[in-house]
Structure 1
Amino acid sequence: MLMYDRCDAWRNRAKQGFAQTIRTQAHNMRNRWLARGWGWACLAFSCCVLSSPAWAAKCLFVSSYHQGYAWSDGVERGLRASLQGHCELQQFNMDAKNFKEPHEIAQKALEAKALIESWHPDIVIISDDDAAQYLLMPFYKDHPLPFVFCGINWTLKPYGLPYTNATGMIEIAPIEPLFEQAKSILPEPRRAFYLGASTSTEQKNLQRFREVAERRGIQLDASLAETTEAWIAAFQRAQDYDFLILGSNSGINDWQDATVLSSLANHGRRLTLTNHEWMMPFAMLGLTKIPEEQGEWAAKVALQILQGVAPASIAVVPNRKWDIWMNPLQVASSGVTIPKAFLQKAKKVN
């Protein structure tokens, strides 16, 4: 009897142990599913919150110039289209084409700095040289706040870029191809004239044109005008040269399209070329930079940085695209013959 009683006791304990094991496993499984459920719920909540406008990254765009300036407007279009839906975007315009004095530009940079300190953006995107010279370099070199620049002309050396917190795209005009076009149209060009506005940007552009002209054995004279009257007078003098290169008119505050076009109709008889799309109403041919490329690239890089990529790991690049333009009205009035291949490829100014 004693042996049977012991067997029954062992069987009862085994049943109780098995039942307890089942209950423990069920309890643990339930806890795991609850934990997993809470994990998914938290993840979903985080995604919803982070994608909501209240939690979107804050992007500040500081333009060196003003809205209404064709180049800046193109950069802004490319930037806004690429950032839409990805971050909250605010813009500050330094207006350096209208306020040209160094102390005026420096004051605008201080206003941009005050906006940064009050709004606390996650990243700052700047376009063109003045924002680099007066905002980025003196206040945010190797700063924890990341910057992306675009539209800086030709070289970064004056600003010591890139920094640990800044990368971007430089702006290079297709000068060599422009001289090639002149050579394909004119038998042996020896003398050229550069005509632009009296601005720091145009001074840099002129220096690059001088370097290319010298390599090609072409004498390049120039005038950087402050008024429409001075621009027209220089244009008339330029008719004694083999061809004319039109720089930007931005910075000539009294610019008058109708007056300039009238002078061109009366005096223009030499081949005129430009690198600026907004100068095509006054030029015959153009190989023009595309400002949207700068804005699109800057936006793409800004989004990479917001996702955790270090600015210093992203290489600085030059722009790679340009458009080919022809102005049929200016060509017809001058009597200059344009190669058929160029005519077939070129966009036409209306």
Structure 2
Amino acid sequence: MSLIFNQKLLIKKKVILLSFLLLSLILSQSVHAKKCLYIASYHQGYEWSDGVERGLRSQLEGKCEIKQLNMDTKRNPDETFKKAAGLIARDLILSWQPDVVIASDDNASRYVIQPYFKDHDIPFVFCGINWTVDAYGYPYSNATGMVEVAPIMELFDKVSAVIGMPHNVFYLGVDVLTERKNFSRFEEEAKIRNIQIKKGLATTAQEWMDFYIEAQNYDFVIIGGNAGINDWNKTTILDTIHQHTQKLSVTIQGWMVPYTILGLTKIPEEQGEWAGQVALYILDGAKPSDIPIVSNRKWDIWINEVILKHTTIKIPLSLNKKSKKVKH
């Protein structure tokens, strides 16, 4: 009797163990069945893209299988290269069949989503598109996202608080699509305020430094991004800035704060975190068309005390208290 009981107990334990293993296998397969593809328009090492990626991965890690493709179109702005990168992304999407695709910055929408996946069965979440989605025809039935806007009005207000009402300004950036779009927005705001604006879009570090020296003849300087200048050398650039700075410089780009006196900067992690959260909603069954397109809502205020000390510019106490400091 004891032998029969022990055998039955052993069989019961084996059944429970097999059931547990089968359940674990099913759960494991269901977790790994969720596939998230992240397409970055630019390259790892570009500070904006790295911030978006950090925010995205903070939401998705452990919740889906993540695959990433970097289009590298910031360092390679040639139209032929960008179209080829778009084809590589298209082929990856069609072969891997992700459950959701997250795409950051303009070129992923321009060269991947718009030409190949508008109103497709595969859902997309975009982020980091500058200012407006009109050029890409959003919204689509299968896509939603976060638009990247900058606090330009607030930046002009801060400039007036520091130097009084300016009459002219120099915009210093790089000759790439994003910078041309950014300049047009600054130009609109400058016209509203009756401020004359001139742009200098550089392609080399020397050209950038020449423009910077020229910009000291204006009431203040707007510093755009530097991505696309392949011979950028931080030490050389900073030597030029420290030697020649006389006027207030401002930026909306976080990675340009080391080269600028005052910054109101967007937070790339905000874009990635929001896109990751929305991707999870979609994996849970939400439709992209039911999630409205939004814009970012956060920014940081920075004062670069290293550059400031080379000038006679005085920062108002109220602004100084609210700002983060660059001291080295």
TM-score by length of 1: 0.86
Partner of 2:93: 116
1:273 is aligned, of 243, 250, 255, to 250
Structure 2 CA distance, aligned partners of 1:188 and 1:305?
A: 48
Give the deviation of 1:50 after TM superposition.
3.4
2:164 is aligned, of 184, 187, 194, to 187
Residue type of the alignment partner of 1:277: G
2:174 is aligned, of 197, 222, 225, to 197
Partner of 1:97: 74
Residues 110 and 136, structure 2, Cα contact 8 Å, conserved in 1: yes
- Deviation string for 1:81-107 (max 9, x for gaps)? 110111000100000111101110010
1:213 is aligned, of 178, 185, 190, to 190
Give the deviation of 1:220 after TM superposition.
0.8
Partner of 1:6: none
Structure 1 CA distance, aligned partners of 2:70 and 2:285?
A: 28
Moved more, 105-114 or 290-299: 105-114
Give the deviation of 1:342 after TM superposition.
1.2
Residues 31 and 63, structure 2, Cα contact 8 Å, conserved in 1: no
Partner of 1:32: none
Give the deviation of 1:304 after TM superposition.
0.5
Give the deviation of 1:169 after TM superposition.
0.1
Partner of 1:38: none
Q: Which runs of 5+ in 2 are unaligned?
A: 1-17
Structure 1 CA distance, aligned partners of 2:22 and 2:100?
A: 25
Equivalence map 1:151-166=2 (5 Å): 151-166=128-143
Matched, 1:334 2:311: yes
Structure 1 CA distance, aligned partners of 2:27 and 2:38?
A: 22
Residue type of the alignment partner of 1:215: I
- Deviation string for 1:258-290 (max 9, x for gaps)? 111111111111000000111011100100000
Choose 1 or 2 for highest CA Rg. Answer: 1
SS at match of 1:334: coil
Matched, 1:106 2:83: yes
Give the deviation of 1:217 after TM superposition.
0.8
Give the deviation of 1:49 after TM superposition.
2.0
Residues 50 and 56, structure 1, Cα contact 8 Å, conserved in 2: no
- Deviation string for 1:157-205 (max 9, x for gaps)? 1000110000000000110000000000112211011000110000000
Structure 2 CA distance, aligned partners of 1:207 and 1:43?
A: 61
2:233 is aligned, of 225, 233, 256, to 256
Equivalence map 1:4-19=2 (5 Å): none
SS at match of 1:137: helix
Give the deviation of 1:123 after TM superposition.
0.7
SS at match of 1:117: helix
Give the deviation of 1:118 after TM superposition.
1.8
1:312 is aligned, of 258, 279, 289, to 289
Structure 1 CA distance, aligned partners of 2:121 and 2:167?
A: 52
Structure 2 CA distance, aligned partners of 1:55 and 1:288?
A: 37
Structure 2 CA distance, aligned partners of 1:67 and 1:120?
A: 24
Partner of 1:232: 209
Residues 53 and 88, structure 1, Cα contact 8 Å, conserved in 2: no
SS at match of 1:223: strand
Gap change, CA 1:42 and 1:142, over 3 Å in 2: farther
Partner of 2:270: 293
Residue type of the alignment partner of 2:93: I
Residue type of the alignment partner of 2:245: G
Residue type of the alignment partner of 1:209: F
Structure 1 CA distance, aligned partners of 2:176 and 2:271?
A: 21
Gap change, CA 1:42 and 1:161, over 3 Å in 2: farther
Partner of 2:5: none
Partner of 1:149: 126
Q: Which runs of 5+ in 1 are unaligned?
A: 1-40
SS at match of 2:146: strand
Residue type of the alignment partner of 1:315: P
Residues 49 and 55, structure 1, Cα contact 8 Å, conserved in 2: no
Partner of 2:116: 139
Give the deviation of 1:323 after TM superposition.
0.5
Structure 2 CA distance, aligned partners of 1:99 and 1:276?
A: 20
Residue type of the alignment partner of 1:304: Y
Equivalence map 1:48-87=2 (5 Å): 49-52=26-29, 55-87=32-64
- Deviation string for 1:97-146 (max 9, x for gaps)? 11101110010111111111221111100000000000000000000000
Structure 2 CA distance, aligned partners of 1:49 and 1:57?
A: 13
Residue type of the alignment partner of 2:71: M
- Deviation string for 1:45-81 (max 9, x for gaps)? 6686235576340000000000000000000000001
Structure 1 CA distance, aligned partners of 2:290 and 2:21?
A: 32
Residues 199 and 251, structure 1, Cα contact 8 Å, conserved in 2: yes
Residues 32 and 65, structure 2, Cα contact 8 Å, conserved in 1: no
